[in-house]
Amino acid sequence: MKIWIPKESSAGERRVALVPANVAALSKRGLQIVVEAGAGAAAGYADEQYQAAGAVIEASREAGFAAASIVVQVQTAGQAPAQLESDLALLRSTQLLIGSMDPLGNPRFAAALAERGVTGVAMELIPRISRAQAMDVLSSMAMIAGYKAVLLAAEQSPRMFPMNMTAAGTLQPARVFVMGAGVAGLQACATARRLGAVVEAYDVRAAAREQILSVGAKPIELDLQTSSAEGSGGYAAAQGEAFLARQRELMGEVLAQQDVVITTAAVPGARSPILVTAEHVRNMKPGAVIVDLAAERGGNCELTRAGELVVEHGVTILGPLNVPSSVPFHASQMYGKNIENTLAHLISAEGALQLDFEDEIIAGTVVTHDGQVIHPRLRELLGLTIAQPSPGQGA
């Protein structure tokens, strides 16, 4: 069974789907790994390292796709359709495609895979259960995004983060406020604390209070009814407009005191909720910085412009895109380990593909199989009959 690792061709993408350490581990399972020449270069992994780990280097992208049983990418054509349309054309029936697909935001990609007879595994849909943690790409990449958000803020802020007592006077520490205490938010809290800032954080989930305290931040509590704030898998549930309006009203006083605000609230397949309004920004300190990690879905700040740095009312607002790609070495290491563990789950000890749809992980992540869209949520989004086909066990 051949696994093909093409070079990422989406604009600005510097990660690679598998690193040499993953190649070595998978080769021991009897799998042949073929890597496109230069695929890991932007992340700091040379072709020679892949060869030493047991991979074959292939210069032709078309040949790599043609010979593969499994194609593994960071960004598939589902996540960047305009740039990767040619990759979709290279896929063929009976192949397995694994990678990020933006399935809820772009369900038509699943329909396109089904038309070509490709079995698609969307890494964003890995269920948040204990035995799937080692495959959880969203958590891995969110951790990196939370870390890097703090560095971006520190670079733009006119203030130093730590307290400093000098002969020229005492420099007070920066105040950092993190909105959302998921993986990205908690890592942002921890990083800002390590840099010496005074850190506060807010999350609608009551359970987040202990998590915020565990990373050295102070939880901010608002007078809101949050009994329905936690959805499946421990993620925050989407809230109605009345709740969000009341939240924004109460948040104004908190935001006005901050030097740095990092927002992390994203809803898969939907626009990000507005947490910081233009009025909030107008009342913030001159020189304050907002880093909006939800910029790719419209942003948590009303004034965010995706991929841009803007200054409004003296406040700098960053809307970074694909933040994990800015730390490509370690992002690839983590993504590759998630993929390695996923492949180990999908492939038997004898080297055969096994798709047991009674397994929660497989049922939750496989979006297409045997020429059909089989994921219930995607079938709903595509307007197909809700009753999904019943795939048998095995590929």
Q: Which residues are catalytic?
A: 128, 133, 136, 139, 235
Which of these, 118, 85, 82, 123, lies nearest to 101 by C-alpha position? 123
Q: 279, 116 in Cβ contact below 8 A?
A: no
Dig out the tokens for 54 from the structure: 């047991």
For 4, phi then psi, to 5°, come to -105, 125
Which of these, 147, 149, 127, 146, lies nearest to 136 by C-alpha position? 127
Which of these, 257, 337, 251, 348, lies nearest to 300 by C-alpha position? 251
How far apart, in whole angstroms, are the C-alpha atoms of residue 48 and residue 167? Answer: 53
Strands 315-318, 309-312: pairing is antiparallel
Cα 127 to Cα 79, 110, 124, 204, distances in angstroms: 19, 18, 9, 21
H-only helix segments in the chain: 20-27, 47-53, 61-67, 81-90, 108-116, 137-156, 183-194, 208-214, 241-255, 278-282, 328-346, 360-365, 376-381
